Amino acid sequence: MPRRLAGAVVAITGASSGIGRATAAAMAAKGATLALIARDEHALGRVADECRTRGAAVLAEPVDVADEPAVGEFARRVTAELGRIDVWVNNAGVMLYGRFEDTPSDAWRRVMEVNLFGQIHGSRAALPRFRAQGGGVLINVSSVWGRVPSPYVSAYVTSKFAIRAFSECLREEVDDDPEIHVVTVLPQAVDTPMWRRAANFSGRNTRALPLARSAEEIAQRIVWCAEDPKREITDRHAGRALELSNGIAPKLWSRLAPRVVERLAFSSGASPDSPGNLFEPLHERDHTTP
């Protein structure tokens, strides 16, 4: 039977934009109480206000998910002020473009710290509370690139593969408690600010991949998984097609991938090296963009 989200306490990381912002709005519409974190305090505040206008109670705090003590302290504050945590959505993520040999070690490491260890820190904060209260839903956001390799985004792909493996391990470890669920969501390309804010050491301009889904569509899948937990879902036909292609003909995919990615992910013109938003949030002029 689907779980009711009305009155549930839902924690979302990376809540200031993109999928996180859309998920916060969708959860607010369901009547959930929200606990939101992101690095950008001002953008996070705007999202919190948007959710309050929808009638949601919101606790929001600027936190870098790579900072494990800060994530743990936020979870303690949520539990103290809101009583429990029913759903934890590990969503925060960053992107890095460039050949592995051209990307600085600190940039590569930072992607792993945010994308992978950010989810590890969130899981360490959530799971003991789920155990103590008798249940909960942990939702880890991976990517179709968590199943399908790709050149020029090796740090991102590695982090998303690792998130899938990490989620599988957790799922087996909590198997003794049927009320604790670990869900992995694998979106295909999504239209979010991540592409514009990405670190770039490729020497070329980047662009969003075609057939991108809206953040709101992915948010609805996350809501669905919170209400009726699944093991793992891939969104959607294009994503499944990529998974199938790589699974059936991995050698052919390896030969085609560099040409496909170069054509779809890069546009004409040169671009200077940039760390993007890896180490600090980037403030955009258009704050209405999700």
Tell me the helix, strand and coil percentages in the chain, rounded to 5: 50, 20, 35
What span, in angstroms and rounded, lies between the C-alpha atoms of 39 and 13? Answer: 9
3-state secondary structure of 270: strand
Catalytic residue selected from 88, 108, 156, 166: 156
Q: Is 158 in contact with 256 (CB distance < 8 Å)?
A: no
* Residue 152 is a catalytic residue: no
Residue 236, preceding peptide bond in cis (omega within 30° of 0): yes
Task: Quickly count: other Cβ atoms within 10 Å of residue 4's Cβ.
Answer: 12
Token pair of 52 as six digits: 């309050």
Residue in the structure block whose two tokens are 């991995």? 250
Q: Which residues pair with 137 in a beta bridge?
A: 87, 181
Token pair of 275 as six digits: 């760390």
Burial class (CB in 10 A: 0-12, 13-18, 19+), 136: buried
DSSP state of 102: G
The count of residues in the chain is 290
What span, in angstroms and rounded, lies between the C-alpha atoms of 113 and 11? Answer: 20
Q: Is 230 in contact with 8 (CB distance < 8 Å)?
A: no
Buried b (16+ CB within 10 A) or exposed e, 69-108: ebbeebbeebbeebebbbbbbbbbbbbbbbeeeebeeebb
Among all residues, which ones are annotated catalytic?
Answer: 156
